[in-house]
A = this chain, B = another copy of it.
Amino acid sequence: MSPHLAAWFAGAGLDRAHLAIDLAAVGARYRALSAALSPTHIHYAVKANPEAPVLRLLAEAGANFDVASRGEIDMCLALGIAADRLSFGNTVKKRADIAHAYAKGVRLFAFDSAGELDKLADAAPGALIYCRLLTDGAGADWPLSRKFGCADAMAEDLLRAAHGRGFTDLGISFHVGSQQTRLAAWDAVLDRVAALYDRLAADGIHLSLVNIGGGFPARYRGPAPDPIRYAEAVAAAVAARFGSARPVAVIAEPGRGLVADAGVIEAEVMLVAEKGDGDPRRWVTLDIGKFTGLAETMDEAIKYRILTPHDGGPTGPVVLSGPTCDSADVLYEQTDIRLPLALREGDRVYILGCGAYTQTYSSVGFNGFDPLGCSCV
């Protein structure tokens, strides 16, 4: 935890779990990632953390924005971010929301199906539209289902169809899976994009954009690549295939990789207990759980690092649990978590790497608990 955040928590006198974002850390990461990825330009994935101070800081630093919904578009516009800096990256949108975005000036849209192409032809004529490829997300910690993207042959057909319907600015996008720690995942899909580029170019359809998505990893438990070295390697993989040989604009959509490491949640230990059931593990209940911000512990996918006031002393295995009366509100039961034996009711613990995909996942009031509060400091 940065000394800045540690000092903020020390003075905050919190009586419930709370997230704090170190804005300076977000700014520093943006500048480093931006330099490492250059000339690829960053469209920050707003869904990772839409707090106004985060968006304002990134806008001033020069970022563009990937938005998932009409709500996120309106949020950015309300902050004075110009519509031509937004990419409507959700491959499935309501027709009325496409029209709303287009009327506001958004000119960059994702799609991955004939039905969505119909909507775009209807509601966003002349926009730059990019077709998302299906990837398997192998190596990513947060599961990537088959939800987004289509097969390469179908993408090629859709791009030809779009060209035939008057779209002259076309692109391809993909996503290697969130928290993707395997660099080789990028090479494989970039090869597919280059092949598609060539097949279309052979017929006089010249793509103008490649969107390499997100997936840039943050630091959780276990080994993680250095974020900047990682981005440089991705940039090299892009440069090997695009640039002079295949002249396209390239954009990336980091979300987690930009903000996760800058956020820390302070939580309180509500209870340390045994079950008397032969399991030697203690059950530790925190005042934050799966439904108040830590949704990414679903299936124990994201494994957070946790600091306690007793670190350094002897530890023992625990099951880590959230505060609601829902039996699914267990953070880690399969994962081997060890916490100090000295841990007690009332202790404050610090959960690291919580700057992305936490407070907006928080439920409106499940079990009567308030949503996770967030301070940008």
A residues sitting closer than 8 Å to B (CB atoms) are 15, 45-47, 50, 67-75, 89-90, 92-96, 112-116, 119, 134, 137, 142-151, 153-155, 157, 177-178, 268, 270-279, 283, 285, 287, 291, 295, 298-299, 319, 321, 323-330, 333, 345-346, 359-371
A123 CB to closest chain B CB, in angstroms? Answer: 12
Q: Check if B367 sits within 8 Å of A47, measured CB to CB.
A: yes
Q: How far does the alpha carbon of A271 sit from the alpha carbon of B149 in the complex, in Å?
A: 13
Q: Which of B94, B277, B333, B346 contacts A268 (CB 8 A)?
A: B94
Q: Which of B268, B274, B359 contacts A364 (CB 8 A)?
A: B359
Chain B's closest residue to A66 (CB) is: B325
**Given known contacts A147-B329, A325-B89, A154 and B276 CB-to-CB distance under 8 angstroms:** yes
**Given known contacts A94-B287, A368-B47, A275 and B146 CB-to-CB distance under 8 angstroms:** yes
Q: Which of B74, B285, B363 contacts A360 (CB 8 A)?
A: B363
Q: How far does the alpha carbon of A114 sit from the alpha carbon of B276 in the complex, in Å?
A: 11
Please provide the 8 A-B residue pairs with the shortest distance between their CB atoms, ordered closest to farther.
Answer: A154-B276, A71-B368, A72-B368, A113-B273, A69-B368, A151-B276, A68-B367, A68-B325
A268 contacts across to B, CB distance below 8 A: 94
Q: Check if B370 sits within 8 Å of A71, measured CB to CB.
A: yes
Q: Which of B177, B273, B362, B365 contacts A112 (CB 8 A)?
A: B273
Q: How far does the alpha carbon of A89 sit from the alpha carbon of B68 in the complex, in Å?
A: 39
Q: Check if A327 sits within 8 Å of B275, measured CB to CB.
A: no
Q: Which of A134, A143, A279, A285 lies at the interface centre, i.e. has the most chain B CB atoms within 10 A of its CB?
A: A285
Chain B's closest residue to A279 (CB) is: B146
**Given known contacts A325-B90, A363-B364, A369-B71, A134 and B277 CB-to-CB distance under 8 angstroms:** yes
A360 contacts across to B, CB distance below 8 A: 363-367
A275 contacts across to B, CB distance below 8 A: 134, 146, 149-151, 154
Chain B's closest residue to A153 (CB) is: B276
Q: Check if B364 sits within 8 Å of A137, measured CB to CB.
A: no
Q: How far does the alpha carbon of A361 sit from the alpha carbon of B291 in the complex, in Å?
A: 7
Q: How far does the alpha carbon of A324 sit from the alpha carbon of B70 in the complex, in Å?
A: 11
